Amino acid sequence: MKSGLKSEVFEKFVKISSGIMNPLTSDWRNKGGRIMGYTCSFVPEELFIAAGMLPFRIRGTGSRNSDMADDYFESANICSMIRHTFNNVLTGEYDFIDGAVIGGGCDGNRHILDNWLKSPVKTPFLDRIFIPHASNELAAEYFLNQLSGLKVRMEEHFGVTITNEKLWDAIKLCNEIRDFQREIYTLRISDNPPITGAETISVIVAGSSMPKEEYRDDLKVLLSELQSVKVSEKKYQARVMIVGPGHDDSSMCDIVEDLGGLVVNDLTCFGGKVIFGSIKEDGPDPLKAIADYQVLTRPFCPKNLGAHPLINKEVFDKIKEFKVDGVMGQIFLCCDTWGGEIYILNKELREAGIPMLRIEREYTADSTGQLRTRVQAFIETISGGAL
């Protein structure tokens, strides 16, 4: 299902999100700009922007197999998102980046760096930050030290000075972007949203793969276009929310929306989790503001000890606000963190009488036959079988 959205900006976002290298990134590079890759939404883009770099979130988009990565990561026992992402690194898809910072959000993600360092891909700057698994002042302070160390290493390697002023500017820019992204999400509360779930994913993913100022300006244009769209006809059978790990392509949403569902919200690592809240724009230390935001404001990652009640609240709040008929909990095979989280959430949703479909799948949506059947049955069930 498509919303019928006619927008040049939107088409641009779709192109950017459906591949890795794109004309804007290429242009940035040709003009001498530096690009910093990163994994995990807990790695703060603001630090890279303040260093004058283009932050680019590393993903597995376009990977059809993980043959090369499987040499490093045992294919049967490591999440395919990690393997496809690393496969893209090995095939040279990320040769355009000047560096990469790997965040240790989960065990698989953490080990990307170890394997990258031992691989033939010689990226000039490779670094890591350890992301706390707790959400308290002590953890925020630990993360601040991690960020301070990374800042110093980046300054030394790239010969730049990351001033507080530049950090505050970057914070403001990213806050603005998150504000616009949330506004787009809010439009989906409507009975007849002007944008589908699959389209929204493209919009959000594009934001981590292009120059930020341009993205902010484009987002503003898109928001205004969407606000002026009037959709009078209901084109779906049921409103669905997706909860789970990295959701960096629209394939799952496409399946739901092709079968009569409409994805109206998500809590995923490339969606709802990324756009949550804002960094405080005052205080003496911008780096501390970033650390506090990542550790204290948005602890929605199942890796965080004690995160479940917060995830539960966020999901239940969104179910109510976005009039969700059913939740799809998706897990990539071998994802221990989301595997446990979806197990807990499934029980609670069922107890609350909210239908949930638990899907264990691979990162690439190649074998969709069985998946489609299950999704179709779910949509039929939650919609009462009537259009």
Write out the residues near another protein by the rule CB under 8 A: 71-74, 76-78, 82, 104, 106-108, 110-111, 114-115, 117-118, 130, 132-134, 138-139, 142, 145, 302-303, 305-309, 331, 333-341, 343-344, 346, 358, 360
- Nearer to another protein by C-beta: 181 or 364? 364
Output 125 or 142, the one with its CB closest to another protein. 142
Q: Is 370 exposed, middle or buried (0-12, 13-18, 19+ CB in 10 A)?
A: exposed
Question: 7: closest CA among 225, 250, 254?
Answer: 225
Strand partners of residue 125: 99
Rounded to a whole number of angstroms, the minimum distance from the CB of residue 296 to another protein is 13
Of the pair 204, 334, the CB lying nearest another protein is at: 334
CB of 19 to another protein, least distance (A): 27
Structure tokens at 113: 């760096």
Shortest Å distance, C-beta 126 to another protein:
12
Write down the least CB distance from residue 381 to another protein, Å. 18
Asked whether 180 and 220 are in contact (CB, 8 A), the reply is yes
Minimum distance between the CB of residue 306 and another protein, rounded to whole angstroms? Answer: 5
What whole-number distance in Å separates Cα of residue 194 and Cα of residue 4? Answer: 8
d(CA 264, CA 258): 14
- Tally Cβ neighbours within 10 Å of residue 128: 21
CB 132 within 8 A of CB 139: yes
Q: Which is nearer to another protein, 166 or 303 (CB)?
A: 303
105/272 with CB nearer another protein = 105
Q: Which of 337, 175, 334 is CA-nearest to residue 244?
A: 337
- The terminus-to-terminus CA distance of the chain in angstroms comes to 14
Residue 352: how many other CB atoms lie within 10 Å: 11
Quick one: 9 or 112, whose CB is closer to another protein?
A: 112
Which amino acid, one-letter code, is at 73?
Answer: F
3-state secondary structure of 204: helix
Tell me how far, at minimum, the Cβ of 121 lies from another protein, in Å: 14
* Least distance between another protein and beta carbon 385 (Å): 26
Nearest to another protein of 319, 356 (CB atom): 356
